[in-house]
Amino acid sequence: MAKKQQRILLVNPSCLDPRISGEDARIVPMGLFYIGAQLMENGFDTKILNLAGAEEDPVGVFKKALEIRKPDVISFSVMNPNRWNAVDCARAAKKIHPEAIIVFGGPAPTFLSEHLFSVCPEIDYIVKGEGEITFWNSWPRLRQGNRWKTSRDW
Ligand code: B12
C-alpha cells in the first residue's frame, strides 16, 4: 500500500495592527518560500497560506484552510508584529486537529521562545535561526511527537 504523503501547511500570520506600509506587511516572507521549497523537493504536500493578505478575520480564514487541507504539520513564520495571530491560530488548530504538530520559526520565536511557549502551550516546536537545515534535521523528532523542545536544546 502506498505511504500517505505528509501534508504541510506553512502560514504567514497577520499583523495585529494595520502596518504603516500595508503592502509590505502583506508579503509572504522569502524565508518561508525557502522552507517550502525544501519540503516540496523532498516530496511533501506543501502549501503556503498568507493570512496577512486576508482582508478580515484571519483566524476564520485559517480554520477554513484547516478543514480543506487537514494538515499533519502546521508551521508558522513569526515576527513580533504577527505573533498574536500565530498564537490564536495555533490555539484554534489544536482544538480542531489535536493531532496536528505546530511549529513556530522566524525572528520572533528565535528570540522569544520561552515567552511563546509560556503563552501558547499549543506550540510543539520552535525552530531557532535559519530553518532549512534545522527544520529538516528535526523532522524525525517531529514525527515522534516530542514536545516542548527548541532546536537549540537538541
Ligand atoms: C527583506 C525584509 C523585508 C521585506 C520582505 C520581502 C520578502 N518577500 O521576503 C519587506 C520589505 C517586504 C519586509 C516587510 C516586513 N518586515 Co522585514 N525584513 C527584511 C529583512 C531585511 C531580511 C529578511 C530576509 O529575507 N532574510 C532572508 C531569509 C532567507 O531569512 P529569514 O526571513 O530570517 O528566514 C529564515 C529564518 O527566519 C527561518 N524561518 C523563517 N520563517 C520560518 C518558519 C518556519 C516554520 C521555520 C522552521 C523557520 C523559519 O528560516 C528561514 C530560512 O533560513 C529583515 C532583517 C534581517 N536582516 O533579517 C527584516 C525583518 C525580518 N522585518 C521585520 C518586520 C517587522 C517587517 C514588517 C512586519 C514591517 C512592516 N511593514 O510592518 C513586514 C512584514 C512582512 C512580511 N510578512 O515579511 C523585522 C522583524 C522583527 C521581529 N523580531 O519580529 C526584521 C527582523 C527587521 C528588524 N530588525 O526589525 N521585510
pLDDT tens, position by position, 88-124? 999 999 999 999 999 999 999 999 999 999 999 999 8
- Is the pLDDT score of 144 beyond 70? no
- Is the pLDDT score of 147 beyond 70? no
Which ligand 1 atom sits closest to the C-alpha of 135? 47
Residue 81 CB coordination number (10 Å): 16
Degrees (nearest 5) of the Cα angle 150, 69, 97?
A: 55
pLDDT higher for 30 or 17? 30
* Contact call for residues 89 and 13 (beta carbons, < 8 A): yes
SS3 content of the chain, % helix, strand, coil (to 5): 50, 20, 35
Name the CA dihedral angle for 120, 34, 26, 63, rounded to a multiple of 10 degrees: -50
Which ligand 1 atom sits closest to the C-alpha of 103? 45
154 falls in which pLDDT band (50, 70, 90)? very low
Task: Give the residue-averaged pLDDT of 127-132.
Answer: 89
- Is the pLDDT score of 150 beyond 60? no
Tell me what pLDDT residue 5 has: 76
Ligand 1, atom 13, lies closest to the CA of 24
Task: Give the residue-averaged pLDDT of 75-79.
Answer: 97
Task: Give the residue-averaged pLDDT of 26-35.
Answer: 94
Pocket of ligand 1 (CB under 6 A): 12, 15, 19, 21, 24-25, 27, 29-32, 34-35, 52, 75, 77, 79-81, 103, 105-108, 127, 130-132, 135
C-alpha cell at 50: 498568507
pTM exceeding the 0.85 threshold for the entire prediction = yes
Q: What is the CATH number of domain 7-153?
A: 3.40.50.2300
What lies within 8 Å, CB to CB, of 134 at 6+ separation is: 127, 128, 151
Task: Give the residue-averaged pLDDT of 72-83.
Answer: 95
- In three-state secondary structure terms, 87 is helix
Task: Give the residue-averaged pLDDT of 61-89.
Answer: 96
* Contact call for residues 41 and 67 (beta carbons, < 8 A): no
C-alpha cell at 92: 484554534
